[in-house]
Amino acid sequence: MSAKPILEKLRILADAAKYDASCASSGTVKRDSVASKGIGSTEGMGICHSYAPDGRCISLLKILLTNFCIYDCRFCINRASSNVERARFSPQEVVRLTLDFYKRNYIEGLFLSSGIIRSEDYTMEQLVEVARILREEHRFGGYIHLKTIAGADPGLIALAGLYADRLSTNVELPTEAGLQSFAPEKKPETIRKTMASVRVGAEEAIEATRGRLIGKAKPPRFAPAGQSTQMIVGADAARDDDILKTATNLYSGYQLRRVYYSAYSPIPDASQDLPPVRPPLMREHRLYQADWLLRFYGFARAEIMEGANGGMLDLSIDPKLAWALQRREVFPVDINRAPRELLLRVPGLGTRAVDRIVAGRRLTKLRLTDLAKLTASVKKLLPFIVTPDWRPGMLTDSADLRARFAPPPEQLALAL
């Protein structure tokens, strides 16, 4: 293996890691370096230390241990048949970079992934070794996100869970057929089994905490920030409905904290069976909105699809508005009397605005001027709400309601 200078390796292995969307450093336990007298803390809320011009947050040092890979997934820049430049870090080099960056307050921690070299188990061992050195030899208390290699031994996953805050296994493509044709070595059932072993590990750790005797040391935590996954959108023929179906199955089965939807973006030296198009960023955005409706707004997948067309979400308006336009009989909603669940269904009201409305209306009747203080935009709400000083009248049922919200076609082309 050629010994490239560290800057070269960093350039190659960060470039290779950028197609993983997650950079979250949130949701873990509170931890600091006061007792250990080392370096590092996590305070529950993640911190984005920088932003790249692609609008994405930079919270973690997101790199691959190596971009050599024996798999040949078509959509991946690191697939075996790609002519991309290759490099490999030693575990010590990654540890060094992480600590150097962390001490200068560039990052919250490390997100380490890797191409598959030799075998799934060997690769996973290498990732775990980096986390072990950071935690045990350097008393590092910052955030660690490790990629779990699907098919690796459950014992290695259990070990990874002891050092890492978060584990993630990417499902890559939302459907079985997509995976078969684009990532022949990856098996959906292997990916699901790996996710299952993460959930089982976490539940066993919780069980151990419950069962412990008073005065005994706490058993170690298992990946306190849970697990996540990523699906690539727009590389295969999967519809939004298929994507959300897979997402709901994964959320329910493996207690995922997040499913990331990553618009397929053209990679250098792309495989010829992939679209050399612009990444479908608006589609990705709509999927995230739908995902939020599923998790925080009490929507069922079937309801979201009421506003969709042929299994695809409307690109020009958000999925909640699309649903509301199909279900006008639900509106208008009385801001001062409607239950919380119904307020959450009003287009333009987010969870925080709803909380503020519910708190505010206990003490005073809310009028439009009050709403302006509690929400971002009253204008969007108007057709769907009633206040003492406002009734939408025919507006709610007017035929051109959609046109009020949808941008004119030429703007849509830009947004895509």
Partner 1 sequence: MLQAPGDFAEWRRAARGLLAGGVPPDEVSWRGSEDGASLFGDAAGATRQGAASLPRELVEIAERVICHRDPEVPARLYRIIWRAARDRQLLARTTDRDVDWLRGADKAIRRDVHKMHAFVRFRRLGGEAGRERFAAWFEPTHRILRLTAPFFQRRFYGMDWAIVTPDARAIWHDETLAYGPGGMKQDVPDSDVVEDQWRTYYGAIFNPARVKIDAMRAEMPKKYWHNLPEAQDIAPLLAGAEARVERMREAAVSLANPLTDKWRTRVPDELALDDDAKTLGELARAVDRCTRCPLYCNATQGVAGEGPERARIMLVGEQPGDQEDLQGRPFVGPAGQLLSEALEEAGLDRARLFLTNAVKHFKFEPRGKRRLHQNPTTGEIDICRWWLDKERAFVQPDMIVTLGASALRGVMGKSASIKSMRGAVHELEGGSKLIATIHPSFLLRLPDRERAAEERVMFVADLIRARKLAA
Q: CB atoms < 10 A from the CB of 284, how many? A: 19
Whose Cβ is closer to partner 1: residue 8's or residue 334's?
Answer: 8
Whose Cβ is closer to partner 1: residue 43's or residue 153's?
Answer: 43
Q: Which helix (H) or strand (E) holds 232?
A: strand 227-233
CB of 83: closest distance to partner 1 in angstroms? 5
Whose Cβ is closer to partner 1: residue 142's or residue 332's?
Answer: 142
Q: Which residue has the tokens 């920088």?
A: 50
Q: Identify the three-state secondary structure at position 333.
A: strand
Q: Which residue has the tokens 């005073």?
A: 364
Q: How far apart are CA 108 and CA 388, in angstroms?
A: 48
- Tokens at residue 271, please? 């495989």
CB of 9: closest distance to partner 1 in angstroms? 10
Whose Cβ is closer to partner 1: residue 271's or residue 289's?
Answer: 271
Whose Cβ is closer to partner 1: residue 38's or residue 392's?
Answer: 38
Pairing between β-strand 256-263 and β-strand 30-31 as defined by DSSP bridges: unpaired
Helix (DSSP H) and strand (DSSP E) numbers for the chain = 16, 12
- CA nearest to 108, candidates 133, 145, 71, 53: 145
Q: How far apart are CA 94 and CA 96, in angstroms?
A: 5
Q: Residue 331: which residues within 8 A CB-CB, separation 6 or more?
A: 324, 346, 383, 384, 385, 392, 396
Single-letter amino acid, residue 325: L
Q: Which residue has the tokens 């993630």?
A: 168
Q: Which residue has the tokens 């590990």?
A: 201
CB of 393: closest distance to partner 1 in angstroms? 25
| Angle, helices 120-132/154-163, rounded to nearest 10 degrees | 20
CB of 377: closest distance to partner 1 in angstroms? 16
Whose Cβ is closer to partner 1: residue 134's or residue 325's?
Answer: 134
Whose Cβ is closer to partner 1: residue 50's or residue 309's?
Answer: 50
CB of 218: closest distance to partner 1 in angstroms? 20
CB of 130: closest distance to partner 1 in angstroms? 17
Whose Cβ is closer to partner 1: residue 49's or residue 166's?
Answer: 49
CB of 404: closest distance to partner 1 in angstroms? 24
Per-residue buried b or exposed e for 134-172, using 16+ beta carbons within 10 Å of the residue's own CB = bbeebebbbbbbbbbbbbbeeebbbbbbbbbbbbbbbbb
Q: How far apart are CA 98 and CA 140, in angstroms?
A: 10
CB of 14: closest distance to partner 1 in angstroms? 4
Whose Cβ is closer to partner 1: residue 54's or residue 400's?
Answer: 54
CB of 375: closest distance to partner 1 in angstroms? 11
Is residue 172 within 8 A of residue 75, CB to CB? The reply is yes
